[in-house]
A and B are shown apart, each in its own frame.
Chain A
């Protein structure tokens, strides 16, 4: 079984649109939406929730004001600014280290169990989807990504699937590293904008570091001819294959608006490119 991750560095370059197209094109696969901060793939391929599981994050401190003697020890040791001058805990800033609890002489501080999100296994018209949703402001996104990936891999093994297709998170941080580790290939979706190019370079440093082969997709390549050539040159220099180039298209936009995978767009060229991307991935995975 092979695992493919779709990432971009910058958000909004069309990562999920490409993932959705792959979901519709690939046979024998399980999908994993690892953008746990802002999951969107289920909006494109529909999801009938079969399983729902709770995800617990780090516990958060709380102060029992009746017992607190206002000595200020907790304030002194907390390095995250999560204790206010009135001795209340700003739980959104609490990093769960427990230092306050360890130094409180009055025993006024406890730790709350913290349900930080949920993860789901769903049925879609295109096969099984494992996805998740982290509560706003929660930290442990890397951990939740790891859970989603593990569940997706297990499902794939049970179903005898050939591929796991992972819609990755934006950025280059902890959840991206969790989404990247151990995959067989990465597809980096970029667009011809300075920010997107800059971020593509950063995310390629990461795939390099993880020793994962990457291919690029230029989305909306026709928005800026100059920048698209710059991307092609950069990729040629680095020895990164371009798996396909998708045009800017009102038809594709219309598909997204209707919540349908982009391969259903009445845009022959765009759809041709998506098929080409999937074929290039398959070819890459055979060698």
Chain B
């Protein structure tokens, strides 16, 4: 089963929940899909065995053939090609703006002269390996690149899945997050009991419902009174699968890259219970 750990907002403890869940489930797989800020490795210390460059095909002119008709530029929905027609003075010009290109293939597929070929351009990496808890995979987008959804699609193909696979999703409800949760069996939405947390939880619930994925809620940094979230969950019929209390010691441990479940203390129970619960749903 595939379980995505998501949250409408960053910093709610999504990664903390993901890595600790992966660590209490023996032989699990963790995929870090937060490709702009992949942080799960800081906690699981995996040994990376394979690094793959992720490349996207962008159009380039072949040596010759182009008539500078401009069809490709007109068909490209993203304005990624610009064509200046030739004149008596000389050949035309064709420019490709790589960052705008979504690699849809329209220009290459429909050029009447078959004058465009694909060239691969690196946008980031996908790494796979093992931690002492199971298999591990993560993607990292190069700085300045924007194609997170494309990188995530490759990452999800390359990962070595286990009976239980935990996926750390990108924060928010962006296109990258939707690509991440596409095809998972359950979404765990991590929130915190603040007005920000509630606002962003609502957005996340809207997103998972739109994608028709079952979900449950985890309240992190509970300060005792979580009525703000509980009231909403009651009204929406959403299950609260766990409450993790705020605790200075936990905050410190987590901030220093420690696994909360590795301590053999009360913290561990929060995650073993949560693991049992999510595997039942």
Contact = CB atoms under 8 A, between A and B. Distances in A.
A46 to B, nearest CB: 12
A195 B37 contact: yes
Contacts of A261: none
Given A10-B11, A12-B10, A99-B106, A227 B256 contact: yes
B178 A38 contact: no
B44 to A, nearest CB: 12
Query: Of residues A134, A173, A177, which shows the largest number of chain B Cβ atoms within 10 Å of its Cβ?
Result: A173
A81 interface: yes
Interface in A163-194: 170-174, 177, 191-194
A37 interface: yes
Interface string A12-27: 1100100000000000
B128 interface: no
Given A11-B171, A40-B9, 20 more contacts: A12-B12, A12-B171, A37-B173, A38-B8, A43-B195, A79-B104, A96-B77, A97-B77, A97-B78, A97-B104, A99-B105, A99-B106, A136-B177, A136-B210, A138-B174, A139-B174, A170-B11, A194-B256, A195-B39, A206-B144
Contacts of B26: none
B231 to A, nearest CB: 14
A259 interface: yes
B255 A172 contact: no
Contacts of B9: 11-12, 38, 40
Interface of B: 8-12, 15, 36-37, 39, 42, 75, 77-78, 102-106, 109-110, 141, 143-146, 148-149, 153, 170-179, 182, 194-196, 199-200, 203-204, 206-207, 210-211, 223, 248, 251-252, 254-257
Nearest to A133: B203
Contacts of A172: 36-37, 141, 143
Contacts, number: 166
Contacts of A37: 172-174, 203
A173 B196 contact: no
A180 B170 CA distance: 20
Contact of A43 (B8, B196, B210): B196
A96 B79 CA distance: 12
Contacts of B200: 38, 40
A92 B210 contact: yes
Interface residues of A, number: 57
A224 B75 CA distance: 54
A136 B254 contact: no
Contacts of A173: 36, 141, 145-146, 148, 176
Contacts of A138: 174-175
B255 A193 contact: yes
20 contacts: A37-B174, A38-B8, A38-B199, A38-B203, A40-B199, A40-B200, A77-B105, A79-B103, A92-B211, A93-B178, A97-B102, A99-B106, A102-B75, A136-B177, A137-B178, A138-B175, A171-B10, A173-B148, A194-B42, A202-B36
